[in-house]
A and B are shown apart, each in its own frame.
Chain A
Amino acid sequence: MNKYFSTKLSIFVFASPALLLFTVFCVYPLLPEIWMSLHKHDGFRNLGFVGLDNYKDVMASPSFWTAHKNTYLIVAISLLLGLPLSMMLSLFMDAQTPRFRRFFKTAAMFPAILSVTVVAQIWLAFYEPNWGLFNSILHSLGLSSWTHSWLTEKKTVMPSIGLTFLWQYIGLNAMLFYTGIKTIPKSYYEAALIDGANFVQVCLRITIPLLQNVIKYILILSTLGSMAFYSHVRVMTAGGPGDLSRTVIYQMYYTAFDTSEFGKGTAIAVIFILECLLISFIIQRYVAREKLEF
């Protein structure tokens, strides 16, 4: 049986439908997009070849760089804050009794299954500057000077939206880590306990090193998920005020649809695809390269 399934032809035959769909729906649409990015296009009509002018124009726009700063801020929040917190949450869950574990697993997953619109509306109410939860708490604690108009001030708008994003998906990542933890053989922990290792040592020497494949998967998922950050921004601030909370994807949408400059919008898309490919390559190349067997 194996000799039939291990031939190059059979591999090709079984992989071809998926490859074909990937080519038709993912690779092929890139070609007209690249073509459009080299033309002046209003979404309906091609108004002429402009070479690399669209690329020059979008890169000369301050909004393009604001959008990049915001996107990478979200990536940083997701990776530097989100992943360690998710890991800690998963270790915490693992240390609980089965009854509490069930409770925490449900609680952790709950925000992730809610629609972005629902989550964004809840957090809009929290951030409301006049009657919102956060400012009300700060007022009641006598910390009125700490209150902000969270979603309209330059320094608070992106961290505020980032916190909403973090809250929604931190539990999902924790569940993925937890699933990874459960695959580590118990005998490793038993041996460590006999050797007198404490909780922190067990985490640092056993759990985290053996989770490297899960970490890699979550790293790619979180990085690309954060880079595609759009829906929360759309609902919470519509990219505003002005361009203060636009991400790259939002800036692309704004340029193509709001200003009807599809040539420039697709130029942003092409630049961003290259960035995503580069980042995926770096993660694939440098993170968790050694094959783990246990």
Chain B
Amino acid sequence: MKTKSKAAAMFLMANILLVSSACSSGNETKSNQPSDNPSPSAASTEDNKETAAPDGKKIKMRVITITTDENRNNIMEKFIKPNIAAALPNLEVEFEPGGGGEDMANKLKTLNSSGDMPDVFWNDAGYFTPLKNTGSILDLTPYISKDGFLDKYAVPDALKHVDNGIYSLSSGADTYFTPVIFYHKDMFEEAGVKVPTTFDELIQISKTLKSKGMVPAVTPGKDGWGPKIFMLQQMIQIGDPQAMADLVSNKTDFNNPSVKEGAARIETLVKEGVFPDGIANLDYGPAMEMFTSKKAAMLWMFTWELPNLAKDETVDFFPFPSASDKYDPAQTVQFWGSPVNGYAVNGKTEHPEEAVKLAEFLAMADALYFESTGAPISLQTGNQANDRSPLMQKFVDWYNPIPNKIASFALNSLDARTSAEVSTQGANLLTGEYAAEDFNAAMNKIWGENTWFNK
């Protein structure tokens, strides 16, 4: 019996060894110590020798970037893929689709958790903090100062995070992204309505458009995208820009009457039929399709879609109309972007210098693309500025002189939990079955627990 027990124990032990050896990563000898501020000097010479592919083999790099909108796909197909082999002949780059929004955030959080971060990735304010806390994002300052890439930016300070580090490289086009109302001029003419200048007029023309069998306006509402990204901010600031600026900087909360009125305006829009039935489950693609196929007369969207929409000559845009004397669309506007949005480098990459070069190449590809559309950018490409489409010129002429540019609430005020809950509560508001009062009460509780400003 004893012999049998021993045999059984030996067999089990052998199995355990087999499984544990199969489960090990094989990278145990490599250092996985996180570092908040890795720099060129932090990488040992021996490591560099080992990773510089002395045998002439190409260095493998993994990139994850946004793949959900037409701009991103155009950049990949027309500017990155055709040029990367010539620009970076020592690299073999594998691109992995990242999706966008919460999907992209969750993918990167999961990869970070499992220690499988790509060498280069699209960084976003929504998931920057956990990546920084775990040393998964490199401070690019020493690298881009040394190779002169920093000098290509018109405003280098705009890249700096509050800790003075530079963590992401972008084309700088983000600063020029703002939500506007795109509309089909011919549909407005057919319905006999004019561009509204007040919130009440917006409701009124929506009723007229609806009575003519048109969908007045669309915007992506699924998962609370629209309310979180811009709608709540717009509805607050068209009544009281100062209240919105205060909310972004945590100087007020959801008890502020002007903030409460913002949520109430969303409830009004839904109940008055400005949006189609089912707006709370309308995804980005279908919302765009409803507008471009002229099922909907208006599209509430950021100007990142302007280059594509400008191809249709019937499309024009107007700023969000005013809901009080405190707001003037020529004086106040929301701007997108954050210094941490852009291409970033994994703080634990084995090839930091090559990865930074790759991030620079990708940022430049972005800049070349946006430049080709006539969009303003802050990363100088060295090319002559292209002729802008009339719609882009109209936008630049309106946007540039605006003195009061309020940062985006979604990117600059919310920790992960608050961000998710704003999406949840915002989607509730779009159902028309949820009162603005309930929204404000729920948001005030969540806002009180927001840790974004604790840093």
- Please report A residues at the B interface, Cβ cutoff 8 Å: 9, 12-13, 16-17, 20-21, 24, 42-45, 128-130, 149-154, 236-244, 254, 257-261
B162 touches A (CB below 8 Å) = no
Bound: A20/B18 CA distance, A: 11
List chain A residues, Cβ under 8 A from B431: 152-154, 241-242, 244
List chain B residues, Cβ under 8 A from A24: 19, 23
Cross-chain pairs A/B with CB under 8 angstroms, 8 sampled: A24-B19, A43-B130, A44-B133, A242-B428, A244-B431, A258-B102, A258-B420, A259-B416
CB-CB nearest 3 A-B residue pairs: A242-B428, A241-B280, A129-B277
Q: How large is the interface on B (under 10, 10 to 19, 20 to 34, 35 or more residues)?
A: 35 or more
Q: A153-B431, A238-B223, A242-B428 are in contact. List 13 more A-B contacts (CB 8 A).
A: A16-B8, A20-B12, A43-B109, A45-B133, A128-B278, A152-B279, A241-B280, A242-B424, A244-B431, A258-B423, A259-B416, A259-B421, A260-B416
B208 touches A (CB below 8 Å) = no
Query: Which residues of chain B in 411-432 are interfacial with respect to chain A, using CB atoms and an 8 Å cutoff?
Result: 415-417, 420-421, 423-425, 427-428, 430-431
List chain A residues, Cβ under 8 A from B15: 16-17, 20
Flag if A9 contacts B7 (CB, 8 Å).
yes
Query: Which residues of chain B in 105-141 are interfacial with respect to chain A, using CB atoms and an 8 Å cutoff?
Result: 106, 109-110, 112-113, 130, 133-134
B106 in complex: contacting residue of A13, A130, A242, A257, CB < 8 Å = A257
Bound: A119/B437 CA distance, A: 37
The minimal Cβ–Cβ distance linking A177 to chain B, given in whole angstroms, is: 35
Q: Mark B6-23, 1 if CB is under 8 A from A, else 0.
A: 011001100110010001
Nearest to B215 among chain A residues (CB) is A130
Bound: A241/B428 CA distance, A: 6
List chain B residues, Cβ under 8 A from A12: 8
Flag if A13 contacts B130 (CB, 8 Å).
no
Once A129-B278, A237-B281, A259-B416 are accepted as A-B contacts, the answer to whether A20 and B16 lie under 8 Å apart by CB is yes
The minimal Cβ–Cβ distance linking A224 to chain B, given in whole angstroms, is: 25
Query: Which of A43, A45, A236 has its CB near the most chain B CB atoms (within 10 A)?
Result: A43
Flag if B130 contacts A242 (CB, 8 Å).
no
Bound: A149/B23 CA distance, A: 49
B4 touches A (CB below 8 Å) = yes
List chain B residues, Cβ under 8 A from A151: 278, 281
Bound: A43/B113 CA distance, A: 6
User: Could you tell me the dominant secondary structure of chain B's interface residues?
Assistant: helix
Nearest to B4 among chain A residues (CB) is A9
List chain B residues, Cβ under 8 A from A237: 222, 281
- Please report B residues at the A interface, Cβ cutoff 8 Å: 4, 7-8, 11-12, 15-16, 19, 23, 102, 106, 109-110, 112-113, 130, 133-134, 215, 221-224, 276-281, 415-417, 420-421, 423-425, 427-428, 430-431, 433-434
List chain A residues, Cβ under 8 A from B425: 242
Flag if B433 contacts A153 (CB, 8 Å).
yes
Once A20-B12, A259-B416, A259-B421 are accepted as A-B contacts, the answer to whether A241 and B430 lie under 8 Å apart by CB is yes
Once A44-B113, A45-B134, A130-B276 are accepted as A-B contacts, the answer to whether A20 and B19 lie under 8 Å apart by CB is yes
List chain A residues, Cβ under 8 A from B112: 43-44
List chain B residues, Cβ under 8 A from A16: 8, 11-12, 15
List chain A residues, Cβ under 8 A from B415: 260
Flag if B113 contacts A241 (CB, 8 Å).
no
Flag if A240 contacts B433 (CB, 8 Å).
no
The minimal Cβ–Cβ distance linking B431 to chain A, given in whole angstroms, is: 5
Nearest to B279 among chain A residues (CB) is A152
Once A9-B8, A20-B12 are accepted as A-B contacts, the answer to whether A258 and B106 lie under 8 Å apart by CB is yes
List chain B residues, Cβ under 8 A from A45: 133-134
The minimal Cβ–Cβ distance linking A276 to chain B, given in whole angstroms, is: 24
Flag if A261 contacts B417 (CB, 8 Å).
yes
Bound: A128/B427 CA distance, A: 17
Bound: A43/B136 CA distance, A: 14
List chain B residues, Cβ under 8 A from A9: 4, 7-8
Flag if B133 contacts A254 (CB, 8 Å).
no
Query: Which of B215, B224, B427, B434 has its CB near the most chain A CB atoms (within 10 A)?
Result: B427
